[in-house]
Every structure is written in C-alpha cells, then in structure tokens.
Amino acid sequence: MKDMKGIILSATLFIIVILSPMAVLLFATHPPARDYWTEFSVALGYAGLALMGFQLILTARIKWIVRAWGENVIYKMHKIMSLFAVVAIVAHPVILFIADPGKLALLNIFDAPWRARFASLSTYAFLALIVVTLFKDKLNVRYERWHFLHISLAVVAIGSGLLHAFAWGFYLETPLKHQLWIALILLWFTLVVYTRVIRPALSSRKPWVVTSTRRERGNCLTLVMKPEGHAGVRFMPGQFGLLTAFASPFRLTAHPFAFSSSAERYPDVEMSVKQRGDFTEKLGTLSPGDKVFIEGPFGVYTLTESPALHVFIAGGIGITPVMSILRTMADREDSRPVLLIYCVTDWESATFREELIAMTVRSEFTVLFLPEHPTAQWHGETGRIDVEFLKQALPAGVENHRYFISGPEEMINEVEKMLSALNVPLENYHADKYSYV
C-alpha cells in the first residue's frame, strides 16, 4: 500500500520548489517587458534551472520521500525531469539567438562578458551530462567514473546557471526574488551537505564485518556480513542496500545490491553480487574480518499481503531479491502459492539452482527454469520468455495473480508488455528496475 500522506506531502513540496520561481517572476514587480520571445526564453531558462536544482531533492534518498514513491518511480522522474530541464535550458539561448542574431557574439568565450560565459558553461555541462548518462553503456564508462562525471557535471551546470542568473540580474532586482533564489540555493546546499557529509558521518559509526564469502553459480559472489557495534538493519525481503567497500562512507560512489538473505536471519545479512565489473570483481578479495558499510534499506519490490498466487519472473542476477523473498517465506512458513520462472543464459549459470530445486519439496512452490542456450541433456522449455510460454506456464486466472519481475531492464519492459497483452491489471505486477551495478 502506498504511503498516501507521504505522496501528498512530497508532491506539494515538489510543486512549490519547481513553480515558486515562475510564480515570483509572474506576480512580483518586474522590469519593463521586452519582446515576447525574449521573455519566453528567459522564463524557460529559469524553469530549467529550477528543475535541475530539484534533482538534488530526488537524488538525496530522503527516506520518507523514497518510502512514499519507491526508487523506481523516483529514478524515472529524475530521468524525465532532467531531460525537460535540459530542453528548457538549451532552448533559452537558441530562442534568444533566433530572435536577435546579434547575440551570437556572446558565444565567443574570449570576448563575451562573464555572465554570458557562465551561461555557455552551464549549457555545455548540461548537454555533456545528458550525453554521458544516455550513452553510458555504449561509451563503456566504468560506473565509478560515470558517477563522478555525473555529479561533477551537475554541480558545474547548476552552479554556472546560478552565477549567470545573478550576474545578469535582470529579473532578480527585487528583494523578494533575491530571497526566493537564496532560499532555494540554501535548500540545495543543505541537501548536498546532508548527502555527502552528514549521512556518511552517521554511516561511518555503523560498520559491518564480513564473516564469510561464498562462490555461487553464474559467476556470483555472496557476502555474509554482521553489524559491528550497532543493531544492524531491518529490511523487507526484496529490498536493497548501498554497499561501500575498500573505503569510508565518504567515498563518492556506493553500489546498490539486493539483499539475498532471509529477512528473518536478523541481524546478519547477505548480498549476492554478479561479478562483472572492476568493483564487483574486487569484492572477491574480501576476507572475514574486513569492514564494509551498508546504507539502507531501500526499495518497494517486496511481498504483498494478497493470498493470490505470487508469480516471480527473474532474469540473470535478478534472482537475488527473489531469493530473499523465497527464503523469508520459508522461514516464516508462509504457505501462499508461489511460481518462479527463472530465465537464464544456460543451465550451468543458474545461480542458486540447487537451493531452488530443494525448495520444491514444499507443495506450494514451483520453479520453471528457462535456459536460452540449453545443453543436449536439457528436456524442458528453452529460448526466451514470450507470451505463448506464459500462457502455457501460468495457471488459470492469469489476471488475478500477483507478478514480480526482476532482471535486466530490457527484459522487464518486454515482460510488462506481455502481461498487458494477457490483460493483467497494472496494479497486479511489480518491477524491480533499479539498476544494480
């Protein structure tokens, strides 16, 4: 059930933060109006700047906001609103140049006034930010390096935009307008301090100790950890935490990984990680006694209270949050019926294969493996999941089951289309689209 109070409060906050600059420009005292296109372009510039500053709220992982909306919704909102912001910011100078071609001279960074240089720097940083984000995989940029670039470019873009607005000063000449933007800047600065100083300081007081590691099928590593000097965390099965290893919590980048252990095994926790990058490969060097840090829990991909059949559709390492749910159900002796459809590259890479098969001794649990590249000895279904497979695999009453999808985002999107084609109501399926890198 959604936290409606949290949604209403946070939505109100969002609207105030985004629209307040426009409201002040519209209703407060302002200088003599210029031509329509100039005024329109200026409004777009302020709107884009307000939207970019708003991203600091979305990415601050404020718990009551995250709990109300869920990471998936916030992540989507962040991407969409960032694109709107960049379009508004780029449109601002473009419209000015079309309305007055003479202003193209402001692009000459050697002769242009500083207020124009700040505008150019802000626009270029915003564009670079979008390119680096949209083409991260194609550029083959390491996650840590991408994250550093992402944050650095955002700081440069927002900071330069603010310097441009205050240096120009055409619409910030009254005390009310100054006070509004100073309040917004203080809000954004506070969020940065909270995210990068206060929260890491609190986390540094709550270290975790690695007690053991396990190698799993599919080039997967399980870390078993216990809290040191604190009570640990209570998580819901299916949630994830942000892991920092080989450094303090003040490090710029923490990595999101799902908890794979039962929520009933408190206070110890496990995270199972696909080793497919520099950081995840390095995790294999951790030894018992090494300290790490965990922030969280986060996520709303978890069990519902419905007695209906729970259908889990997992692909690759997307099995990790599902394992946490299945293990928790077993420990709680939860007898609700469960069907797991596990899409794997091949039979040998099916992580947790033996444990999943052992779970089938319980009559309420069924698992169907779907290897894309089967061995000669495999006699079950093969290939990629599609609508026809779901029609055969799902029991009657398809539209009444509860569906949980986790894995690569491309697979999740395809499965959502399949469920829609099978007339499954949107509220009956849940997707775990938060990227574990």
In a domain, 343, yes or no: yes
180 in the same domain as 258: no
For residues 94-122, give the mean pLDDT.
86
Q: Is the pLDDT of residue 1 over 60?
A: no
168 in the same domain as 44: yes
Point out the domain boundary residue: 202, 237, 269: 202
Cβ atoms of 368 and 380 within 8 Å: the answer is: yes
For residue 329, name the pLDDT band (cuts at 50, 70, 90): very high
Better-predicted residue by pLDDT, 377 or 229? 229
In a domain, 114, yes or no: yes
Mean pLDDT of the chain: 87
3-state secondary structure 55-107: HHHHCCCCHHHHHHHCHHHHHHHHHHHHHHHHHHHHHHHHHHHHHCHHHHHHH
Cβ atoms of 153 and 160 within 8 Å: the answer is: no
391 in the same domain as 268: no
246 in the same domain as 188: no
Cα separation, 429 vs 410, in Å, equals: 16
In a domain, 127, yes or no: yes
For residues 287-291, give the mean pLDDT.
95
188 in the same domain as 50: yes
159 in the same domain as 60: yes
138 in the same domain as 88: yes
220 in the same domain as 183: no
Q: Is the pLDDT of residue 309 over 90?
A: yes
Please give the tally of structural domains in the chain: 3
30 in the same domain as 174: yes
pLDDT digits (tens, 9 = 90+) for 67-97: 777 777 888 888 888 888 888 888 988 998 9
270 in the same domain as 187: no
| CATH number of the domain that residue 218 is part of | 2.40.30.10
Point out the domain boundary residue: 298, 326, 350: 298
137 in the same domain as 55: yes
**pTM exceeding the 0.85 threshold for the entire prediction:** no
In a domain, 17, yes or no: yes
